[in-house]
Amino acid sequence: MLATQDVYAIDAADLGADDLRERLIHQRHVIDLMELSFSRSAAEFAATQDYENDGSATAIDWIRIHCHMTGPAAADRVAVGNHVSEFGQTVDALVDGEVGFAHLTVMARTADAVGSKFNETVLVKKARENSPGKFHHICRHYRHAVDACSFAAGEVEQVENRRLKLSTWFDGALLLSGVLDSVGGAALRAALEPLARKSGAHDDRSRERRLADALVELACGGEQPAQIQVTSSLDTLLALAGAAAAEMEFSLPVSSRTVERLACDSGISRVLLDSESMVIDVGRSKRVVSEPGRRALKARDGSCRWPGCDRPSSWTAAHHLVHWTRGGTTDLDNLILLCHRHHWLVHEGGWQLVRGDDGRMLTVPPTVTFGPSPRGPD
């Protein structure tokens, strides 16, 4: 292995794996020592009122702007600087490379929270033995153990800060932003995570996309799906040329393909035909799957019938292989269970489901064309 000064004389790309690892550890140690020095300066600066000369509301705000940092990162440095005189053992551990600056920020936040009950000797041992993330977890337990009342007060404050903002983009897409308290967030994740798992080996959606699908599935599926109200003309539902789009509550107008899906299983939505209300009544027996029929369908299919998908029947809709608008019936032969994603793929995604000779469902992908058609001869 090379000596440290030699490691720095060589381009990272030319270093062997051992020397590159050594360089990374050494560089981070130097940065951590600089962070400690920066934190001392930040706390000294915060003790003055100098930040007011530039019109900054707080010292953290001044540091955030002039040192090009995020607010929480600046606040962490001031907190460490404020407590560093009480952190003799932890600073020694940092200098010796046994803990990182990230451990110090956790230590400072814990000292802020528990005040005079803070015990460095207990915590520095834990800091040496654990990663910063795990140490943060341990410090949460420590805070509860030494002052359960203030711990609970912190939770109440989190709940008070909850909010969810829904705004509609110009094309109708919904933007979500918000903050949930730790417990509320955990409940949401407990509901979403099982639905966001990959639905089989063929599932190549990113985690973010699976989570987005899971949220919509949560609203559309399950034992008590949200009632979505759609108003459509019969021409739109039949996808006739020249038909207008359909109206949907809380949405911009939606396509006939989407109406077809929403109308496929009446358990999901209500479709009101705005001019031909007679027709919906006539079609009702073809559209609505009876409760015994639905139980038989669930017993037969068990889960989504898309090849390789194992979404259980409670998270599926009854798909008409021949849509009721084209004469399909609610007989079991014409129905299969599909999960939200695969139901979407069949109606809006352009996929076809075909029953093979052995009764198994086969999928036919949509025909995709890239770019304009080749130009013919003049």
Could you tell me which residues come within 8 angstroms of residue 168 by beta carbon, excluding any fewer than 6 positions away?
174, 175, 252
DSSP annotation of 254 reads B
Could you tell me which residues come within 8 angstroms of residue 2 by beta carbon, excluding any fewer than 6 positions away?
10, 15, 19, 22
Q: How far apart are CB 216 and Zn ion at their closest, in Å?
A: 14
Per CB under 5 A, the list member of 63, 273, 304, 353 interacting with Zn ion is: 304
Could you tell me which residues come within 8 angstroms of residue 114 by beta carbon, excluding any fewer than 6 positions away?
142, 143, 146, 147, 150
Q: Which two tokens stand for residue 169?
A: 């983009």
* Residue 365 backbone class (left: φ over 0; alpha: ψ -120 to 50; beta: rest): beta
**Alpha carbon 32 to chain centroid distance?**
32
Q: How far apart are CB 347 and Zn ion at their closest, in Å?
A: 6
Judged by beta carbon, residue 103 or residue 261, the one nearer Zn ion is 261
339 binds Zn ion (CB under 5 A): yes
Q: How far apart are CB 115 and Zn ion at their closest, in Å?
A: 54
End-to-end CA gap in the chain? 70
324 binds Zn ion (CB under 5 A): no
Q: How far apart are CB 295 and Zn ion at their closest, in Å?
A: 19
Judged by beta carbon, residue 146 or residue 297, the one nearer Zn ion is 297
109 binds Zn ion (CB under 5 A): no
Alpha-carbon gap, residue 150 to 153, rounded angstroms: 5
Judged by beta carbon, residue 64 or residue 320, the one nearer Zn ion is 320
Count of residues near Zn ion by CB under 5 A: 8
Judged by beta carbon, residue 143 or residue 319, the one nearer Zn ion is 319
* Residue 371 backbone class (left: φ over 0; alpha: ψ -120 to 50; beta: rest): left
Stretch that binds Zn ion, among 97-105, 136-144, 247-255, 297-305 (CB under 5 A): 297-305
DSSP per-residue codes, 47-83: HSSGGGGGT-SSHHHHHHHHTT--HHHHHHHHHHHHH
Q: Which of 160, 208, 218 is nearest to 187 (CA)?
A: 218
Stretch that binds Zn ion, among 127-135, 150-158, 266-274, 340-348 (CB under 5 A): 340-348
> Within positions 215 to 274, which residues make up the interface with Zn ion, using CB under 5 A?
264
Q: How far apart are CB 340 and Zn ion at their closest, in Å?
A: 8
What are the angstrom distances between the C-alpha of 271 and each of 54, 69, 174, 280, 321? 61, 52, 22, 8, 19
The neighbour count for residue 270, using CB atoms within 10 Å, is: 13
Lay out the site mask for Zn ion across 276-295 (x = CB under 5 A, - = otherwise): --------------------
Residue 121 host element (H or E): helix 120-129
Alpha-carbon gap, residue 123 to 323, rounded angstroms: 65
Judged by beta carbon, residue 134 or residue 326, the one nearer Zn ion is 326
> Within positions 175 to 194, which residues make up the interface with Zn ion, using CB under 5 A?
none
196 binds Zn ion (CB under 5 A): no
Stretch that binds Zn ion, among 146-154, 180-188, 294-302, 305-313 (CB under 5 A): 305-313
Task: Residue count of the chain, please give it.
Answer: 378
Q: How far apart are CB 251 and Zn ion at their closest, in Å?
A: 19
Per CB under 5 A, the list member of 38, 101, 135, 306 interacting with Zn ion is: 306
311 binds Zn ion (CB under 5 A): yes
Per CB under 5 A, the list member of 218, 319, 336, 345 interacting with Zn ion is: 319
Q: How far apart are CB 142 and Zn ion at their closest, in Å?
A: 45
Stretch that binds Zn ion, among 22-30, 116-124, 173-181, 316-324 (CB under 5 A): 316-324
> Within positions 118 to 137, which residues make up the interface with Zn ion, using CB under 5 A?
none
Q: Which two tokens stand for residue 78?
A: 């001031």
User: Is the distance from CB of 340 to CB of 315 less than 8 angstroms?
Assistant: yes
Alpha-carbon gap, residue 342 to 203, rounded angstroms: 11
Q: How far apart are CB 306 and Zn ion at their closest, in Å?
A: 4
The neighbour count for residue 323, using CB atoms within 10 Å, is: 20
Q: How far apart are CB 164 and Zn ion at their closest, in Å?
A: 28
106 binds Zn ion (CB under 5 A): no
Q: Which residues of the shown chain bind Zn ion in the complex (CB under 5 A)? A: 264, 304, 306, 309, 311, 319, 339, 342
